[in-house]
Structure 1
Amino acid sequence: MAGILFIISAPSGSGKSTLVNQIRSLVDNLEFSVSYTTRAPRGSEEDGREYHFISRQEFERMIQNDEFLEYADVFGNYYGTARRSLADAQAHGKDLLLDIDVKGAAQVRRKVPQAVSIFVMPPSPDILATRLRNRSRAEGSIQEEVIARRLAEARQEIENYREYGYILVNDVLARAEEELLAIVTSERLQRAGLTPAPDQERLVKLAESCRQQNTDERVRPVLLAFGLPAPEPVKP
């Protein structure tokens, strides 16, 4: 069955882009929606590959014409997903993957309640700060005030994790990649009403373990590390 909308969100620096690139290389018939943004390209980013880079005036014209499935102002720059992305994917018999922030994801869930939503968590603030510094260093400069702002924003975003159907903790990249593959595989089987083949059963079980209601033990240390309320540990 084509036409499944997958939403993936994560704080900046959580490794989401790496996961998205990997799942795109592993899964057939999965379109990636290239978002629009008014921010300037970073490093080796190219227009039409990571984002469609447009002016603020052009973005606001698209808002007025109701051309976005979702959009948000993030750190002073607009980001948005064009409505035609989903229609084009469905017309070509493909599923669509959206890489969007928590505000945009909330808009999409209201418009497409059957969407599959996935939230990627960094394992701790210290690891996230290191990843952000490494990325900034690769881009040519490290601005500690920007990193501090990103960490504060990450804490706010993580507070919304219960709004998502699946949770991944990206502490070991290979594990997170396999979990994301499992979620896509399981949802496709379920939507198509198919019984998992023997080699798919393990992936279906792995996907089930990533459902938000089954991840309390995995997310508890992350929440505590970010100073957020955490579920009580399961008593033996």
Structure 2
Amino acid sequence: MYSLKEKEIIFVFTGPDGSGRKTVSKLVGESTLHMKGVISYTTRERRHYETEGEDYHYISKDEFESARNNGEFLESVEVDGNLYGIKEQDIKNTFEEKGCIYLVLNTEGAEILKKLYGDKVIRFFVYADRNTVMERQKERGDTPEIIERHLAHYDQDMAYKEECEHIFENYKLDHIAFEVTNTIEHYFKLKLEEKAAKKELL
């Protein structure tokens, strides 16, 4: 397992599908704070509004199983018969570029990372009410079958809310982006203060 260095933090965006967690993470992580995101691998089919290498890396089940058997995945989960995972080497490579990274994970993946790295993982739970989630999925072109499958997990995902370090209701994108940015900057400030304090002790 990759050992996080002292300065390294993983920010994880999680919550129900359709809550806007990926949109918020990109707006805050890449556009505002210039962090680097790590993309998950999945065996599910790419949807028409998704892009390879931006939303997921889409691979076959055989490729996924082979990589998992080789110990390449730091975490992997199965949801509705589809496999999802983050490769350890991708985490390592991204940290070589940036001291802090962000991930977008379902609640199961977020919990696995939290158990692996403890306080080094900061979870942002992004949510919207059930009707809003359903409307957003309709707008992006999800089929009724996909929407029904996602909503079947809604209550279970929402139950994870209180486990996370920070909770944000995504009712207005610019508002939540401002709040999340301020929260992440607080962690950056704490790291700088810790570094300065240690220098004084030397």
TM-score normalised by the chain length of structure 2 = 0.86
> What per-residue deviation string (whole Å, max 9, x for no partner) do you get for residues 66-119 of structure 1?
111111111211111111222223323431101000101111011111211111
1:131 has 2:136 as partner: yes
Distance 1:21 1:156, change over 3 A: same
Residue in 1 aligned with 2:124?
A: 118
Partner SS for 2:155: helix
Residue in 2 aligned with 1:46?
A: 51
Judge conservation of contact 2:36–2:98 (CA < 8 Å) in 1.
Answer: no
**Which deviates more from structure 2 when the two are superposed, residues 36-45 or residues 98-107?**
36-45
1:192 has 2:197 as partner: no
- How well do the aligned residues superpose, as a CA RMSD in angstroms? 1.6
1:94 has 2:99 as partner: yes
Q: Give the distance between the partners of 1:43 and 1:151, measured in 2 at CA.
A: 20
Question: In the alignment, residue 65 of structure 2 is paired with which amino acid?
Answer: E
Q: Give the distance between the partners of 1:151 and 1:7, measured in 2 at CA.
A: 21
Partner SS for 1:88: helix
Judge conservation of contact 2:46–2:58 (CA < 8 Å) in 1.
Answer: yes
Of residues 10, 16, 24, the one that matches 2:15 is: 10
Q: Give the distance between the partners of 1:148 and 1:134, measured in 2 at CA.
A: 15
> What per-residue deviation string (whole Å, max 9, x for no partner) do you get for residues 9-59 of structure 1?
02111111211221111112x110011011111114232222111100010
Residue in 2 aligned with 1:180?
A: 180
TM-score normalised by the chain length of structure 1 = 0.74
- Deviation of 1:2 after TM superposition, in Å, equals 4.5
Q: Give the distance between the partners of 1:176 and 1:75, measured in 2 at CA.
A: 30
Judge conservation of contact 1:2–1:93 (CA < 8 Å) in 2.
Answer: no
Judge conservation of contact 2:20–2:170 (CA < 8 Å) in 1.
Answer: yes
Question: In the alignment, residue 56 of structure 2 is paired with which amino acid?
Answer: Y
Question: In the alignment, residue 116 of structure 1 is paired with which amino acid?
Answer: I
Q: Give the distance between the partners of 1:18 and 1:51, measured in 2 at CA.
A: 14
Judge conservation of contact 2:15–2:161 (CA < 8 Å) in 1.
Answer: no
**Structure 1: gaps of 5 or more residues:** 195-236
Residue in 2 aligned with 1:200?
A: none
Judge conservation of contact 1:3–1:89 (CA < 8 Å) in 2.
Answer: no
